[in-house]
Structure 1
Amino acid sequence: MTMLSRLPALALLACTCLPVAAAPYVSGTILPGQPAEERAAQLVDFYRQWKSVYFKHGCGEGQAYVDVGGDGKPVFGGTEAGTVTVSEAHGYGMLALVMMADVDADARADFDAMLAYAQAHPASSSPDLMAWNQVEGCIDAGVDVGGSNAATDGDLDIAYALLLADKVWGSDGAIDYAAKAEATMAAILAYEVDPVSMHLGIGDWAVHPDETYYRYTTRTSDFMLSHLRSFATATGEAAWTDVLERTYGLMAEVQQGFAPQTGLVPDFIMDLDGAPRPAPAEFLEGEGDGAYSWNAARYPWRVALDYLLFGDARAQASVAPLTAFMRHSTGDDPTQIADGYALDGTTMPDPGLNSMAFVAPLGVAAMVDPANQRWLDSIWADTVQTPISQEDYFGNTLKLLSMIAMNGRWEVP
């Protein structure tokens, strides 16, 4: 019996008062100090809000997607005008549905509809990867943004969500989730992992024999270490362990070499075939490409999970200095976390404050050490008190996923 099956399935609109999921992470880790029943209810309430704003059925019979413009706010990240969704959002949505299935009676049907959408929009490289950007009319975006290319982060999350679906619902029904997961993992290895360097590429378009400039580049928000570990277990493929070890090596090299006092990491790391270093500004997406910006903001959540779930001390060691820097620089007030930092800890020009895209993932990182209890409690309180109307798709979705992790509900396949 899995953690998710220990709770009765509740219709999402029926009640926010639910039994608490008891998902023990490794010994010595912590959860927010607020009463567990209150935290669980707050999570379900926000999940309900998030789903009402961003989850949409459409773009084909039996299909559904995360509408990144569902709140009417601008969509960024290099997308084409009129963007409906991106594969990153699709992976997030599938993760949320399967991990909240015990409190959402529609979760499986909605998950299957999301899978149908992904399959209706295959990347040009492989039918088992998802084209990264769709626009109004439910078509892939144009060549100017590489709309039919695959993005590594979205595919990694989709594969992990499929493994969880096999665990939660089994693969004996209409959809063989295990087989879908296996096909997606194989395609990621074939098209989004460099076969020599064994690093996670930033997409199928970059890991290509004729590509030179971006081939030896990785994105720190893609450092989904617990995903990689789970893929190795599920497939028996030693290559996944190679990717995991390569990623840990890059993390240590960049933090020690370029941010020894802060533990901050850049959005992009380049020159992986030689001496890895932070990318320069405007390398791919914008001014913050070599800084702790909107991509790297996900790093604390992604990395900390490998300690929470599997106890790898390297993950704890990686997020510890980053957490210490944030606590010191803000005076233990998470509302003072800036929207971006240079690796030396200075804030980016004209930064905003208290974006959930930066704040909430740091709550997951705080969980690796009991010394962070007050900091974690402050982050949880700030996260819960921030209304959905204050954030956009990105901030609200990272908030939701971080709240799932901070509630002890992140699952291992």
Structure 2
Amino acid sequence: MFVRLLWFFVLVPLAAGCAAFPASPGPARPFPQHAFYPGQRIRPGGYSQGELDDHVRAFYDEWKQRYLKEAGSDEAGRPLWRIIHSLQKPDETVSEGMGYGMMIVAYMAGYDPDARKIFDGLFRYAQAHPSDIDPRLMGWVQPPDPAGNDSAFDGDADIAYALLLADRQWGSGGAIDYAAAARKRLAAIAESTIGPDSRLPMLGDWVVPQGSAEDDIRYNQYTPRTSDFMPAHFRSFREFGGDPLWDGVEAAIERAVSDLEAGYSPQTGLMPDFAEPAGSEQGFPLKPAGPNFLEGPHDGDYYYNAGRYPWRASTAVLLYGDDFWRQRMDKLSHWAESATGGDPLRLNAGYYLDGSPIEGQDYFTTFFASPLATAAMTQPDQQAWLDALYEAVHDRHEDCYEDSVTLINLLLLSNNYWAP
């Protein structure tokens, strides 16, 4: 079936590796790209490729108008840009949003004539707001938290990935050496936010790998956020720098997911927002974190962090044909279709790992739906489910977090997301 479906793609091979290219007057991979995904089985039906591209363009225009803001100039007089945290907190910016924004703008180069200028302004803003602990990383919130401003893993990982995209798009011979900046940030991520023994992504550079008395050893190298499991990113990091560390990180997150799924979500494949060691000592296996572990009562449930997990996992299936993550998405995506009777508007905004809906969360949001649409692309028998999900998300706007996640997934859904 997959072979018969390939006719509707313009086959643009994925680049392997990420060497620096000379600066060019325009983007090397302008939007739209129509990339071939080795692990794709279906695509959104009912629309032509041109219409899918137009949906992305329209969503991007709205996203840019709502969330991209000028942020003054640096000491050299070069413009800075930032992504607002939310419509309710327009004066606040978080590193997570900056990572999303830099990725989005790099992918939209060619459609947006100002993409490179904006990208450079976003990156310079990130550089101008370093973590108090490892200044090679970004402080997670601006204005800074008076109690201390440290890093968050996902923001810096997405910023690093965006720098690889920029190197592919524009080369590294201009005002910013994107490849050198990526190497510097990846070194910081590896040294300050990857567990030296666990090889798991840590929550940020504030985590002491062996734990500390100040946090009762609760946060350590075995207490990850599952939405930080980014196998496609880690594959690109490995290809770019040749560092075998990233092979170990991939192996570690696969072990963590296998443990959590086997022990706590064998029927659903759902992941908790956070995990911690199942025993009294640090180490594998992991279990879902307890309530109020870091953010709230649903830290051990499929909630507003783990909702990104299907997007991160299915990207590895689509771009690399990875069978481990395909099996994970097979279980999770079919559970989601069954749990809703095929109606995305019945998706709850959060679930316990056994698939029971969290009470008081009975409303629809694109945040949970758009990653599930990308997951459905990896399954040959879910065309109706994919189409329903796509209809529910492609022109619906909510707030910055939801819309940024949805826009990145629309890039995937339209075959306009590519690996650097």
TM-score (ref. length: structure 2): 0.88
Q: For 1:410, what is the secondary structure of its paired residue? A: coil
Name the CA distance, whole Å, in 2 between partners of 1:225 and 1:83. 32
Letter matched to residue 313 of structure 1: D
The correspondence of residues 45-84 of structure 1 with structure 2, limited to 5 A, is 45-61=58-74, 62-69=79-86, 71=87, 73=88, 84=92
Q: For 1:57, what is the secondary structure of its paired residue? A: strand
- Do the aligned partners of residues 277 and 59 (structure 1) sit closer, same or farther apart at CA in structure 2, a change above 3 Å counting? farther
Name the CA distance, whole Å, in 1 between partners of 2:348 and 2:211. 39
Name the CA distance, whole Å, in 2 between partners of 1:58 and 1:222. 28
Name the CA distance, whole Å, in 1 between partners of 2:307 and 2:49. 26
Asked if 1:200 is matched to 2:201, the reply is: yes
Name the CA distance, whole Å, in 1 between partners of 2:209 and 2:354. 33
Preserved contact between residue 59 and residue 395 of structure 2 (Cα < 8 Å): no
Residue matched to 2:53: 40
- Do the aligned partners of residues 345 and 2 (structure 1) sit closer, same or farther apart at CA in structure 2, a change above 3 Å counting? closer
Residue matched to 1:85: 93
* Dislocated runs of 4+, deviation >4 Å: 1-4
Letter matched to residue 213 of structure 1: R
Preserved contact between residue 192 and residue 200 of structure 1 (Cα < 8 Å): yes
**Paired positions, count:** 384
RMSD: 2.0
Q: For 2:139, what is the secondary structure of its paired residue? A: coil
Preserved contact between residue 14 and residue 419 of structure 2 (Cα < 8 Å): no
Asked if 1:365 is matched to 2:343, the reply is: no
| CA apart distance, 1:324 | 1.0
Letter matched to residue 145 of structure 2: A
Name the CA distance, whole Å, in 1 between partners of 2:248 and 2:337. 34
| CA apart distance, 1:29 | 2.4
Asked if 1:227 is matched to 2:239, the reply is: no
Preserved contact between residue 211 and residue 218 of structure 2 (Cα < 8 Å): no
- Do the aligned partners of residues 210 and 350 (structure 1) sit closer, same or farther apart at CA in structure 2, a change above 3 Å counting? closer
- Do the aligned partners of residues 193 and 176 (structure 1) sit closer, same or farther apart at CA in structure 2, a change above 3 Å counting? same
Letter matched to residue 85 of structure 2: V
Letter matched to residue 306 of structure 1: A
- Do the aligned partners of residues 250 and 98 (structure 1) sit closer, same or farther apart at CA in structure 2, a change above 3 Å counting? same
Indicate which of 378, 397, 400 corresponds to 2:407. Answer: 400
% identity of equivalent residues: 38
Letter matched to residue 36 of structure 1: Q
Preserved contact between residue 31 and residue 110 of structure 2 (Cα < 8 Å): no
Name the CA distance, whole Å, in 1 between partners of 2:100 and 2:71. 18
1:295-326 per-position Cα deviation (integer Å, ceiling 9, x unaligned): 00000000000010011101111111111111
Preserved contact between residue 31 and residue 108 of structure 2 (Cα < 8 Å): no
The correspondence of residues 98-117 of structure 1 with structure 2, limited to 5 A, is 98-117=106-125
Residue matched to 1:291: 301
| CA apart distance, 1:127 | 2.5
TM-score (ref. length: structure 1): 0.89
Preserved contact between residue 221 and residue 267 of structure 1 (Cα < 8 Å): yes
Indicate which of 213, 218, 243 corresponds to 1:213. Answer: 218
Residue matched to 1:24: 36
Residue matched to 1:79: none
Structure 2: gaps spanning 5 or more residues: 1-11, 16-24
| CA apart distance, 1:274 | 3.9
Structure with bigger RCO (C-alpha 8 Å, 6+ apart): 2
1:341-368 per-position Cα deviation (integer Å, ceiling 9, x unaligned): 0001111111132201101111111111
Letter matched to residue 29 of structure 1: R
Preserved contact between residue 223 and residue 302 of structure 1 (Cα < 8 Å): yes
